[in-house]
Structure 1
Amino acid sequence: MSSLSIIVATDSKLGIGIDNKLPWHLSEDLAHFKRTTTGHAIIMGRKTFESIGRALPNRRNIVVTRNHDWHHAGVETATSLDAARALLNDDLAYIIGGAEIYQQSLDLANELVVTEIQQEFACDAFFPAIDPLLWKETGRETHYSEASHLHFAFVTYKKI
C-alpha cells in the first residue's frame, strides 16, 4: 500500500478555510505546497477540487466524491477514501483536504506536513487536533512573510 502524507495550512486555532476558500494569502505556503506535492498523487474532496477549479499540473489528481456522475478533465474519481487509496501504486500520496477528508485520513497517514500560521482567522472548517501521543514533531522551519505580514512555520510530524 502507498504511503500517505497529509499536507495542510492551519491558523493558530487549526482553522483551514471559510466558505470553501483559504482565509489568507501566503505565497510562501503555496510555493511550499507546489514543491512538496509535484510529482506525487494528491487526494482531495470534491469541494476542495472545486475551490481550486482545475486539476493541478504535474500531479495525479484524485477526487473523492459520492456523486458517481461527477467527472472533470485530468482527474480520477473515487467514491471513498479507501477507493482512492486502492487507485494508488506504492508511491507517496498527499491528502490535500478538505476537513472531512483530513478527518478520515488522519489515522491512515504516517506524516503530517503542516504550515502553522501564527494568527487566528475567521474559519468555518478546521483540521483535527494533532495528538502528541500519536505524532512527533520531527522538523520545524520558522518564517515571516513580508508580503502577507504573517509569521508561520513549516512543521513535519511523523506518526509514533
Structure 2
Amino acid sequence: MKIILAVDQNWGIGKDNEMLFHLKKDLKHFKDLTIGNIVIMGRSTYESIGKALVNRDNVVLTRNRDYKLDDALVFHSIEDVITYVGDKEAFVIGGSQIVDLFLPYCNEAIITKIFDQKDADTYLHNFDLDDDFEIKNESEIFEENKIKFKYLTYRRK
C-alpha cells in the first residue's frame, strides 16, 4: 500500500476540505500512478472530490454506518479495507486522519513537495522526520504557474 499526496513546505495538504494547490502536471502524475488501481480515502476527501475517480476502485472509509455511495465502496473498519485490498496495488489519497490510520500498512509515500506555503488547516505526516522512512527517489524541480515542486518517493526502511 502507498500514500500519494501533495504537500506544501510545512506538509500542509488542505484548507476547508479543499486542496491547497491545483497543478495540472501533478494531477496528471496522480492520475497516471493511480489509474487502474485502488484509491482509499475518507468520507470528507470523497465529498471534496464530489464523485468517484474514474477507472479506479474507489474505497471510502467512514465511521458512519448509514453512509452509502453508488459509485464507491464504503467500509467501516481498517481491517475490512485491508482484507479487500489484499495484495492489489492501493493508494491512500487522504485525508490526514486516513493516512495516519493506514500508515502502519504503507511501505511507500509518493509526495509532491511544493516549494510554497499556504494557510492550511490539515497536515500530512512529515516523512522527513520519520526515522522509519527514507527518500528513495527524487525528481528534478518542475515549475507551473510560478510554483516550483518536485516528486519524492519515501520508502519504509
TM over 0.5: yes
Aligned to 2:71: 74
Residue 143 in 1 paired to residue 141 in 2? Answer: yes
Runs of 4+ in 1 over 6 A off after TM superposition: none
- Give me the whole-angstrom Cα distance separating, in 2, the residues matched to 1:158 and 1:41: 19
1:32 deviates by 0.5
Q: Does the Cα contact within 8 Å between 1:144 and 1:151 map onto a contact in 2?
A: yes
Aligned to 1:43: 40
**Paired residue type of 1:139:** N
1:80 deviates by 2.2
Residue 94 in 1 paired to residue 91 in 2? Answer: yes
Identity over the aligned pairs, expressed in percent? 35
SS in 2 for 1:121: coil
Long gaps (5+) in structure 1: none
- Give me the whole-angstrom Cα distance separating, in 2, the residues matched to 1:23 and 1:7: 15
SS in 1 for 2:66: coil
| Range 59-68 or range 79-88, more displaced | 79-88
| Range 31-40 or range 103-112, more displaced | 103-112
SS in 2 for 1:25: coil
- The superposition leaves residues 18-65 of structure 1 with CA deviations (integer Å, 9 ceiling, x where unpaired) of 000012221111000000100111100000000000111111000001
Aligned to 2:10: 13
Change beyond 3 A, Cα 1:89–1:107: closer
Using structure 2 for the length normalisation, give the TM-score.
0.95
1:132 deviates by 4.4
The match for 1:27 among 24, 29, 32 is 24
Change beyond 3 A, Cα 1:89–1:105: closer
**CA root-mean-square deviation:** 1.1
- Give me the whole-angstrom Cα distance separating, in 2, the residues matched to 1:60 and 1:112: 19
Q: Does the Cα contact within 8 Å between 1:81 and 1:101 map onto a contact in 2?
A: no
Long gaps (5+) in structure 2: none
Q: Does the Cα contact within 8 Å between 1:55 and 1:73 map onto a contact in 2?
A: no
SS in 2 for 1:85: helix
SS in 2 for 1:106: helix
Aligned length: 156
Using structure 1 for the length normalisation, give the TM-score.
0.93
- The superposition leaves residues 86-127 of structure 1 with CA deviations (integer Å, 9 ceiling, x where unpaired) of 212311110000010011122220000000001111000000
SS in 1 for 2:59: strand
